[in-house]
Every structure is written in structure tokens, then in C-alpha cells.
Structure 1
């Protein structure tokens, strides 16, 4: 028990409490290094003493009552509040960061004495890292658009609030509709899309069409293809560079589908890894060839104004509805026509959405659909979707641009088909 700890253990824990105070005090002292002596709310020595005080109060509470530690924290809070009130009298824009950090130092000092030392030390390091990132975090906040903040909140609602409340059992024909798994699919696809959007928002406009294609494939390769094709329509000189972005977006789609499929059925990793891996690698090589063939462009813009935030709540709900239709369609067509019915659904789904079909087939393969048949259906859907994106590039971006993209995609589809045939 802690109240029976020997002197060595006690001094180790008090040393950690002191070290936590010194660490937080060092960061706060450096932050206020240009302030005049005596004008700082708390510096290195104050933080070190508060950390040690937290440890000692925790030790004393072992021999008196846990209430002692609570009253000590309350007394420190009142002292800090008075000091803050005195300071704010002449400065209406004074923050509370140092005061909160001081209270946190006391709490971590107590944890170092009473609880897990590793947790106390790790928490102190995380607190210092957070304090030191002030300018970076404020810069991010300044760059966030209103609809992006709304999207982040929507992601939190659908994942943290709604998902845990849904039942984990099948409903409908054959128990096909599992509310928890359906909504988890919505969260997964929306989260991947939002991650891709954020990455494209941060780096795409500065780095170029290639980075935009990589991140756009994670968000939505179809919308990325449409956006880049529209740019080519506005300036045909960008065609060679933007074709690289379109092909990269398509290559990333193969890898994304592989990840989504294996998340819902781990056994699909083997049957899917070869065809989708070969198709993705072929796409990357093809994009490299297009990049080498393209002449340097003075205007390699990748502003991607045509690519919007993919995490609107309506988009997530629409995906859920499409997934339900695909699940029911797959169930009934397979019931009526066997594996051939699954292939029909796969081909039709590839015209609009690949993720819904991938999730549907992956769930079926956990029960009674052969893994090889599931892999063929997913590859078929991705192949149809790839052909659709090639046609978009041709129709929207023009003949030269479309032929560049379709040339690579034809090789990609041939490689995927050959891999499926050899592995069957």
C-alpha cells in the first residue's frame, strides 16, 4: 500500500512531482521570458513549488483524509483566483492559461504521489506540448472555415453520440440490416473522406496537382476527377499535369477499397490484395509515366474549388441509404440468381458508389458468400467506377486530356483482370 511506502519510493514520487513542476514552469517561464521581473503570474520556481506541494498534500492525505487533498486544491484555486483578479484589473485581455497550468501542476503532483507515475509524467509532457503549440493551434483556428467546423462537429455527433446507441443485431430479410454496422460504415467512409479533405485543404493548393490527386482519392476520386477536368476545360495547358492528379486519385481509390473491405472482413485481405494491389501499383506507375512525359507547367494550380467538403450530414445519410439499397439488392439478387446476381449489383454500383458495394459484399463474405466471388464482385465494381471516371475526363476535360487518363486506366483494368484470372 502507498501509506506503507518506504523512504526511497516516497522520494522518487516527490522527485517526480517536483520534476513535473519544473517542466511546466520551464515552458511558462520561457513563454513569459520578455516580461519584467516580478510581473509574471508564476514562473519556474512557483511551478516547481506547486508541483512539490501537490505531492506533499497527497502524502499527507494518506495519513489524514482524502478531503485534505480536496481542501488543499480548493485553497490553491482561491489563491490563484485572487492573483488573477489583481492582474486583470489593468489588463482586460489577460488569459487564464498560466493559472490553469498551475492548478494542473498541483493535480499532477498529487497523481505522482498517489497514482501511476507513468500517467503523471506522460500527462505533464502532453500538457507542455499543448502549451508550446499556441501559435500553431491559433493559426489553425484562424484558417478553419465555418462549414469545416460544422463538418467536424457532425463527425463527432455521428461517431461519438449516435453510434454507441445503435443496436448490434440484424433486422430485415436474412438479418441483412444491422443498424450498428450500417452506421459504422457511414462513420468510416465519412471519416476517411474528411481526412482526405483536410489533407487536401492544407497541402493541395501549395504542392500541386499530384498531392491533390493523392488526397483527393482518399476523399472522393470521382469529384476530384470532375474538378481537375473542369480546370483543364478552363486552361488546356494544364492538361498534362492535371492528368497525373486524376490518375493518382484513381490509384488511391484501389488502396482505399482494399482497406475498407478488409476492415469489414479480414479474410478478404488475401483475395483482394493481389488484384487491387496490382491495379493500384499500375496506376501509380502510370501516373509516374504521365509526370515524366508532361512538360513543366508554369501554372500547376490545384486549388480544387470544385471539390467540396465531403462530410455534410446529408451526404453521410445519403451514403447510408445507398448502402441499405445495395445490401437488400445484393441479398435478393443473390437469392434469386446466385453469385451472378452479386456481379450485377457490383456492376450497377460501380456507376455511382464503390464503398457501399464493398461493405455489402464484405459483410456477406463473412457468412456464406465465397471469398473469391466477393473479391471478383468488388474488383468488378471498382473497374466499372474507373471506367466512369475515364469517361468523365474525356467528356469534361476534352479529347487530349481524356485519352491520357483512359490510356493509363486501360492498362490498369487489364492488369486487374489478368490478376483475377490467374488467381481463380
Structure 2
């Protein structure tokens, strides 16, 4: 190794140590001098020591860095034992960070410098986000954690074991693809659900509407409409949240459809994109009409956890039903049967229909028919959500939502016809 390359890598090892030391030193800035486990200098030297050991490993053999790491771990263990004798409530974070600093210092000499630097930055970010991460953990409910673990097991462990071939009439039921659809939809739903839970209700109807559209726009509409029923003054602001949730749904359906059939992107992009744009524009008009003086606190107790095992299995059952119904109706009535299923599915669930017709394009269903079915399903679902807002939230609230949705539906129909 040339001298310039050697000094460059040793410099990175030192920089990694100083980065860790800066964060740890700031974290322990209130502790008296001499009582800190490690600070800026210690971490800097540890990173440089790891780099030097990596350099020596290149000279005397690859075993040397491993033995040096074991010696470093023993030193850290002795230090930790001495600290815990004085303070029973002693964490291991700084000690683990020291070992990681040494290892990354060695990696800077022996491996990819960019990878070592990236790991150091990510690790420092994790160290600096202690309060934020602990706050998130504190807000997790027990049933949410259990549901997440359950889905992780049945998706990561079970999904690879499911046969990837068709069964049943027309080989329409593929266990692997059906369960993959459940995982994808549940993952998108949980993204929105987690955002609402982490951000909290205090961010108001706008954030709730945006993330609620990922979780469940129907549940979001129900929850916000109930709030308006209890306090009619919230109507102008809650209407914004409902319309935003419905508008995000169009983008969600576009993503889900193209995941299972990339060729659907072109025929779906114009109608769904136009409907989403019209919805967002309508939400902007509602915001201007509502004025700046109103703020709201939202409590979406009606928004269920989308990663609950029962919810995932229920969606899987609905998906199987839609797949079979679409198969037979297409067999009996052609494209008209597919559109009939789309209209019926839009009353309750859009994702199942979207995934079904997307998969059917691989078996000969025309892209235009598939796109029309998906747009029809989301249109029916949009009309249903408008009706929910009118019934639960009252006349004025319903009129605000329905006025925007009428423009959205007209825009979608025009875009689909022109396309």
C-alpha cells in the first residue's frame, strides 16, 4: 500500500473515532471530569488504534486484528465491571460504541472506506436519537408489538415456504403471490398507522389525512366524521383531512397496481394521477375557505391496527374471494364481469380488486379493461366515503367533501375516456 493511501485510511479511522467521541462527549458533557467512561480523545485514539491494528494485520497476518479486538473487548469489559461496581444502573452503550469504533477503524484500513464511513454515520445517528427512539418505544402498545412480531414471523418465515404456483380454477390461486399481496398491503397500511401513532394527534387533520390515506382512508373518514358529529365547528378542518386521505388512496392504488403489473403504470398514471391532483387541489381550496384561525386535535381511536393478524388474514380471505369471483365472472361475461366485480369491490375494499386485476393482466386480461376496473373500484369507493361523511358528519360537512369528490370523479372519468 502506498504511503498516501495508508495515511488516507488512517485519517478515516481517526475521523470515525472523533465522530463517535463528539457524540459521546456531548452526551456526557454534564458529568464531572474523570468520571466519563470515554470521551472525544478516547474514541479518537480507539479509532486510530483500530486502524493501526488493521495496518499491522496487513504486515504480519490477518489473525492479528482479531486478537487485538479480543484484547480491546477484554479491556472494555474490565472497565465496565469497575464502573458497575460504583453504579448499578450502568448502560453498555458507550462500551459497545468503543468496540464498534475499533472495528470500523480496522475496517477503514482493510476494507471499503465508504462502507466504514457510512456505518459510522448511521451508528452515530442512532446514538444521538436516544430520546426520540425511547419516546417511540414508550408509545408502542403491547398489542401493536405482538401484531408486528406475528406478521414478521408469518411473512419472513412462512412466505418463502409457500408454493409459487397456481391452484384451483384456472390456476388463479397462487399461495405465494396471495400472501405477498397481504404483506405488501399490510406494510403500506402500517406505514401510515405508525406515522399517526408516532407523530401524535396534535399535528391535526392535515397530517392525519395524509398518513390516514396510507393506513385506511375509509377508517380515517369514519373517525374524522365522528369528530364533526361531536363538534360541528371542526367541520371545515376535518373536511380537509378526509379529502386528503381519499386523495392519497389514488396514489396508493397506483403503487400497489404497478407492483404486481408494471405495464399498468401507463394506463393508470393519467386517471389516478389526475384524480389525486384534483383531490389535493380541492383540499387546498377547503383550506383557504376554512381560514387560518382553526386548529384541531384529532384522536383516531377508530383507526385499527392494520398489522393485527386477524386484519391481515381477513384481507387475505377477501382477496381470495375477489380472485375467484373475478375469474368466474370474466369466464362467463368477459370484460363486463370484471367491471361488475370492480364496482362491487369498491364498496368495501379497493386493494384486493387492484391486486387481482393486476395479476390477471399476466393471463391475458387487457390493460385497458384492468385500468378501467381499478378506476371504477376507486371511484365507487370514493363515492361511498363521501356518503359516509354526509351521513356521520352532517349536511354541511358532507357537502364540502362531496363537492370535492364530485370534481375528482369527473376528472377521473374524463382522463380515463381521453386516455
Residues 142-153 of structure 1: pairs in structure 2 closer than 5 A: 142-153=138-149
How big is each residue's C-alpha offset from its partner over 1:237-256, in whole Å with a ceiling of 9 and x where there is no partner?
22222122212211111111
State which of 107, 111, 117 in structure 2 corresponds to 1:111: 107
Please, which of 333, 337, 350 is the counterpart of residue 329 of structure 2?
A: 333
- The structural deviation recorded for 1:13 is 2.2
CA distance in 2, matches of 1:269, 1:394: 33
2:139/2:197 contact within 8 Å kept: no
Are 1:83 and 2:79 an aligned pair? Answer: yes
Given candidates 68, 88, 92, the residue that maps to 2:64 is 68
Q: Which residue of the other structure, out of 210, 216, 234, is the alignment partner of 1:220?
A: 216
Encode CA deviations 1:293-345: one digit per residue, 9 max, x unaligned.
33666562322222222221110111111111111211111111111111111
> Is contact 2:243–2:283 with CA below 8 Å preserved after alignment?
yes
Aligned to 2:32: 36
2:315 maps to 1:319: yes
CA RMSD of aligned residues (A): 2.0
Match of residue 259 from structure 2: 263
Indicate how the Cα distance of structure 1 residues 10 and 286 shifts in structure 2: closer, same or farther if over 3 A, else same.
closer
89, 98, 105: which one aligns with 1:102 = 98
Distance 1:64 1:283, change over 3 A: same
Deviations 1:81-136 (CA, angstroms, capped at 9, x unpaired):
11111111110111111111111111112111211111111111222222122222
For structure 2, the residue ranges without an aligned partner over 5 or more in a row are none
- The corresponding residue for 1:419 is 415
After TM superposition, the score normalised by the length of structure 2 is: 0.94
Instruction: Please point out which of 141, 160, 166 is paired with 1:164.
Output: 160
The partner residue of 1:8 within 4, 25, 40 is 4
Measure, in 1, the Cα distance between the counterparts of 2:387 and 2:102: 64
- Displacement of 1:406: 2.1
Q: How does 1:113-262 map to 2 (within 5 A)?
A: 113-203=109-199, 205-262=201-258
**1:53 lines up with 2:70 in the alignment:** no
Moved segments of 4+, more than 4 Å: 295-299
Give 1:355 shift: 0.3
8 Å contact from structure 2 (residues 202, 296) kept in 1: no
Q: What TM-score, normalized by structure 1, do the two folds share?
A: 0.93
Over 3 Å counting, the alpha-carbon distance change for 1:210 and 1:10 in structure 2 is: closer
| Offset of residue 351 of structure 1 | 1.2
For structure 1, which runs of at least 5 residues remain unmatched after alignment?
Answer: none
Distance, in Å, in 2 between the alignment partners of 1:282 and 1:298 is 24
How far apart are the structure 2 equivalents of 1:29 and 1:290?
A: 49
**1:292 aligned partner:** 288
Aligned length: 419
* Range that drifts further, 40-49 or 86-95: 40-49
Partner of 2:366: 370
Partner of 1:273: 269
